[in-house]
């Protein structure tokens, strides 16, 4: 049976919520984030995007592109509440809902609660209900698998609805630029360009071994998707793969004393999250971002899980000793992965620390 997969993606979600709740912002370039020189854009309205402002851009750069940009402080509790409304609407049609983030999800509607044969009709109804209940617009992509549905949802934004029928999957992919492939980031896209891979048809001309040689395990994925093959199921309960914390500093730090202070805060925050999730990890990763936005990652996997705070502290400092601090540091992050099954940690009073995120 051919599967019917829908990808629902809210349009400029955070910024749209702000424009909904504050009508004077409608039609204006809005960014969710801090206007400080250390700020980073969390979301941008479509009016702001016309100026080239996008999420993850520094606020300083965004203001250069759009001097009239209006900044709104984030209200994550509101966003989570609206997200819960949206997910509840999706569940009226199917239990096979896989949230990718707070504002997007896959749905498998091959069989559905409304007994509707048309996935396109289901997508239209979901979009309509979302607007009626939240006042927000969503874009929907419909196709035979997750990869194609995700690609489809990006074709007609905002407030879009795009169907890629089974019989046009292959010709559609063959003409699609690889930089628009879900899963192909900027660096991978650049590498493909150097190899002469510009479209799905170019990728299809490569052998499996050739793609694996150049792209590692991702080569298997690329080999299949350029042929329209994606058998991944819609997973309703996504398994947490890592637990982490990071801090972007208000001012760059450059001394050993400053780094140690920030490291201790990260260790405290990470251990608190480990306790809350009741999971240990065998792999510890330290991320360092410098003031020129270049990034350094140090990671090590141990034979046993890191199950004591003292061990986490010692191993974190071990990784930090391997980092080159020739440049001032903008951000530090610490995470554990390769997680164990749920564990029971002994109750112990912890001092609650508040980290500053900007």
Q: What is the DSSP string of 194-244?
A: HTT--BHHHHHTS-HHHHHHHHTTHHHHHHHHTTT---PPPPSSPPP-EEE
What does the pLDDT read at residue 304? 86
Query: Does residue 275 or residue 355 have the better pLDDT?
Result: 275
Going by pLDDT thresholds of 50, 70 and 90, the confidence category of residue 186 is: confident
Per-residue pLDDT at 342 exceeds 80: no
Residue 100 has pLDDT above 70, yes or no: yes
- pTM to 2 decimal places: 0.73
Annotated active-site residue in 18, 98, 104, 268: 104
The mean of the pLDDT values for the chain is: 90
Q: What is the mean pLDDT of residues 232-236?
A: 92
62 pLDDT higher than 90: yes
What pLDDT does 40 receive? 81
Give the model's confidence band at 289: pLDDT under 50 very low, under 70 low, under 90 confident, else very high.
very high
Span 104-116, average pLDDT: 94
- Stretch among 2-6, 236-240, 259-263, 329-333 having the lowest mean pLDDT: 236-240
Q: Looking at the predicted structure, is the pLDDT value of residue 66 above 50?
A: yes
Closest among 109, 130, 133, 132 to 121, alpha carbons compared = 109
Res. 344 pLDDT band, cuts 50 70 90: very low
Task: Name the pLDDT band for 358 (thresholds 50, 70, 90).
Answer: very low
pLDDT of residue 56: 80
Q: What percent of the chain has pLDDT over 90?
A: 73
Tell me: pLDDT of 347 over 50.
Answer: no
Interval 89-104 mean pLDDT: 94
Band of the pLDDT at 57, cuts 50, 70, 90? confident
Residue 292 binned pLDDT confidence (cut-offs 50, 70, 90): confident
Q: Is the pLDDT of residue 290 over 70?
A: yes
Q: Tell me the average pLDDT across 276-304.
A: 89
In the predicted model, what is the mean pLDDT of residues 153-164?
Answer: 95
- The pLDDT of residue 356 is above 60: no
Query: Across residues 217-231, what is the average pLDDT?
Result: 93
Predicted confidence band of residue 58 (pLDDT cuts 50, 70, 90):
confident
Crossing angle of helices 119-134 and 76-91, in 10° steps, is 140
As a whole-number percent, the residues of the chain with pLDDT over 70 amount to: 94
Output the CA–CA distances (angstroms, integers) from residue 191 to 32, 215, 271, in the order listed.
32, 9, 38
Distance between CA atoms of residues 257 and 64, nearest Å: 34
Count the helices and strands in the chain (H runs, E runs).
13, 12
Question: In this predicted structure, what is the pLDDT of residue 341?
Answer: 60
Per-residue confidence (pLDDT) for residue 237, from 0 to 100: 75
Confidence at residue 353, expressed as pLDDT on a 0 to 100 scale = 41
Residue 184 CB partners (closer than 8 Å, separation 6+): 178, 192
Do 108 and 94 touch, CB atoms closer than 8 A? yes
344 is catalytic: no
Alpha-helical runs (H) found in the chain: 13-21, 46-49, 59-65, 76-91, 119-134, 146-153, 169-175, 186-194, 200-204, 208-215, 218-225, 256-277, 309-320
- Summarised one tens digit per residue, pLDDT across range 112-151 is 999 999 999 999 999 999 999 999 999 999 999 999 999 9
Structure tokens at 352: 């609650």
The whole-angstrom separation of Cα 287 and Cα 109 is 39
């Amino acid at each position: 049976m051919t599967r019917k997969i829908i990808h629902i993606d809210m349009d400029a979600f955070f910024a749209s919520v702000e424009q909904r709740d504050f009508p004077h912002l409608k039609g204006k370039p809005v960014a969710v984030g801090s206007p400080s020189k250390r700020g980073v854009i969390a979301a941008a309205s479509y009016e702001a995007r016309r100026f080239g402002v996008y999420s993850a851009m520094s606020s300083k750069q965004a203001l250069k592109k759009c001097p009239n940009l209006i900044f709104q402080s984030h209200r994550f509790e509101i966003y989570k509440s609206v997200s819960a409304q949206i997910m509840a609407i999706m569940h009226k049609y199917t239990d096979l809902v896989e949230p990718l983030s707070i504002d997007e999800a896959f749905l498998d509607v091959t069989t559905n609660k409304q007994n509707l044969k048309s996935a396109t009709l289901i997508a239209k109804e979901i979009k309509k209900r979302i607007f009626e209940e939240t006042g927000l617009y969503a874009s929907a992509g419909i196709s035979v698998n997750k990869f194609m549905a995700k690609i489809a949802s990006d074709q007609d934004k905002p407030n879009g609805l795009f169907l890629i029928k089974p019989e046009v999957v292959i010709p559609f992919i063959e003409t699609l630029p690889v930089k628009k492939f879900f899963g192909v980031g900027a660096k991978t896209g650049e590498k493909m360009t150097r190899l002469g891979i510009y479209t799905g048809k170019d990728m299809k001309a490569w052998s499996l071994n050739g793609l694996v040689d150049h792209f590692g395990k991702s080569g298997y994925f690329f080999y299949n998707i350029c042929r329209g093959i994606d058998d991944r199921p819609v997973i309703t309960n996504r398994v947490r793969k890592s637990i982490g914390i990071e801090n972007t500093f208000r001012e760059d730090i450059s001394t050993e004393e400053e780094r140690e202070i920030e490291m201790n805060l990260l260790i405290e925050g990470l251990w608190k999250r480990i306790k809350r999730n009741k999971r240990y990890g065998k792999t510890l990763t330290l991320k360092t971002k410098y003031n020129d936005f270049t990034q350094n990652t140090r990671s090590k996997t141990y034979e046993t899980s890191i199950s004591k705070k003292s061990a986490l502290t010692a191993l974190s400092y071990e990784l930090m000793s391997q980092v080159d601090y020739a440049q001032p540091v903008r951000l530090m992050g610490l995470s554990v992965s390769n997680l164990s099954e749920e564990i029971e940690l002994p109750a112990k009073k912890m001092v609650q620390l508040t980290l500053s995120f900007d």
